[in-house]
Structures are given as C-alpha cells and as structure tokens.
C-alpha cells in the first residue's frame, strides 16, 4: 500500500483543537483539504504528521507551538490612534481587522486592547503561542 512521502499531493480530512478541546477548524462538513506537501502551505507539524500515512489511515497528533504558529511575538503588537481607524468601526477586544499592505495583499489583525485614545493591534496568527491537536484522516494520495 502506498504511503505519503515528501512533495506528494494529498487529500486529508482534519479537525483542529486547542489544548482545552475546543475545535477551531474542521474539514468534516466540507471537501477534504487538498495540498501539495513541501510547498509551505501547512504548518510544519501538520505536514510531518501526514508523512508515512496510507489512504484511510486515521491518527491524532499533538503539535507543539514551535511546529505550529510559533510563540506570540511581542513585536507584532502596535498602538494605533483611534483616529486612524475607519469611523464606522467601534473597536472591541478580540475584534478582527484587515489591513492592506503596500503590495496589495491583506493582513489579518486582532484588537488586543482598547484605550481612550488608541487601540493595540496584534498581528500574530490567532493560534500563535498554542499547542494544537489534530485528528487526521488521509482520504487520497493524488
């Protein structure tokens, strides 16, 4: 039986959970994730977990934050004067924002703190600093 190796294209169903068991993402209600390994499309621990799986294999893996989204980087927090935010936005802690970069791409941000005259914006990935658990099922090696 064929097993997943580096640079394969695979289809996989997954359910991602935080350390407290809360599900943060799952493909079970949609098409399986199709991805080419070795292209930097997945967090390193997820990709490593797929290596050597065979079609229909299932497993649960815990991925340490270093192999997921890394530690929270304090340098990715920035104070922004409230006057620089769109007027129709009432910032609240946890609110998601999108910023446009000079190259036209977009960056997801999160409001970390709201003060009288400014907000603190967090540009870290929302799952940074957390160990993650994934339930994986290999559907196909394309």
Domain ranges of the chain: 9-70+127-141, 74-122
Assigned architecture for domain 74-122: Beta Barrel (2.40)
- Global pTM reads 0.82
Q: Token pair 């530690």 is at which residue? A: 71
Q: Report the length, in residues, of the chain.
A: 142
- The model's pLDDT over 45-99, given as tens digits with 9 standing for 90+, comes to 999 999 999 999 999 999 999 999 999 999 999 999 998 888 888 999 999 988 8
8 Å CB contact between 123 and 78: yes
Rounded distance between C-alpha atoms, residue 109 and residue 111, angstroms: 7
Domain 9-70+127-141 has CATH 3.20.20.140: no
pLDDT in tens, 4-60: 999 999 999 999 999 999 999 999 999 999 999 999 999 999 999 999 999 999 999
């Amino acid at each position: 039986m064929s097993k997943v190796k580096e640079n394969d294209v695979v289809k996989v169903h997954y359910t991602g959970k935080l350390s407290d068991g809360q599900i943060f993402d799952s493909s079970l209600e949609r098409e399986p994730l199709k991805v080419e390994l070795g292209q930097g499309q997945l967090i390193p621990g997820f990709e490593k977990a797929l290596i050597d799986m065979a079609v229909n294999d299932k497993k649960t893996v815990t991925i340490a934050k270093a192999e997921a989204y890394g530690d929270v980087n304090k340098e990715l927090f920035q104070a922004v004067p409230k006057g620089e935010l769109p007027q129709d936005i009432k910032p609240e802690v946890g609110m998601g924002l999108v910023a446009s970069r000079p190259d036209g791409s977009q960056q997801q941000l999160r409001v970390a703190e709201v003060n009288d005259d400014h907000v603190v914006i967090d540009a870290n990935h929302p799952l940074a600093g957390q160990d993650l658990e994934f339930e994986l099922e290999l559907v196909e090696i394309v």
